Amino acid sequence: MQISSENLIAILHDVFPECGDMTISQETQLGELPEWDSMAAVNLQTSILQQFQIEVPLELLADQTTVQEVIDFLHNPVPHEAAC
């Protein structure tokens, strides 16, 4: 699957079916997704790994992280350092 915001948003809708008709944009923060928590973050991490073959660090999949920031990482998957 090609890395794009459309495809990532499709993954988010699949992982979070509770989103229903909610509009997910590049500015949407992960914490705004219904049922978002640390367990759900792993489900998102697993789905991204399956679709894009890239493991996103869990530290990046935080409440304040936007969809665009995840896309940016997927385009440039450098080792991530957790903020201190």
Q: Residues in the site for another protein, rule: CB under 8 A?
A: 17, 35, 37-40, 42-43, 45-46, 49, 55, 57-58
Alpha-carbon span 33 to 52, nearest angstrom: 21
Min CB(44)–another protein separation in Å: 9
Min CB(17)–another protein separation in Å: 7
Min CB(59)–another protein separation in Å: 9
Residue number, 25 or 42, with CB nearest to another protein: 42
Q: At 66, give phi and psi (nearest 5°).
A: -90, 165
Residue number, 14 or 25, with CB nearest to another protein: 14
Residue number, 55 or 72, with CB nearest to another protein: 55
* Residue 40 CB coordination number (10 Å): 17
The CA-atom distances, in angstroms, between 24 and each of 7, 17, 38, 39, 68 are 12, 12, 19, 20, 11
SS3 68: helix
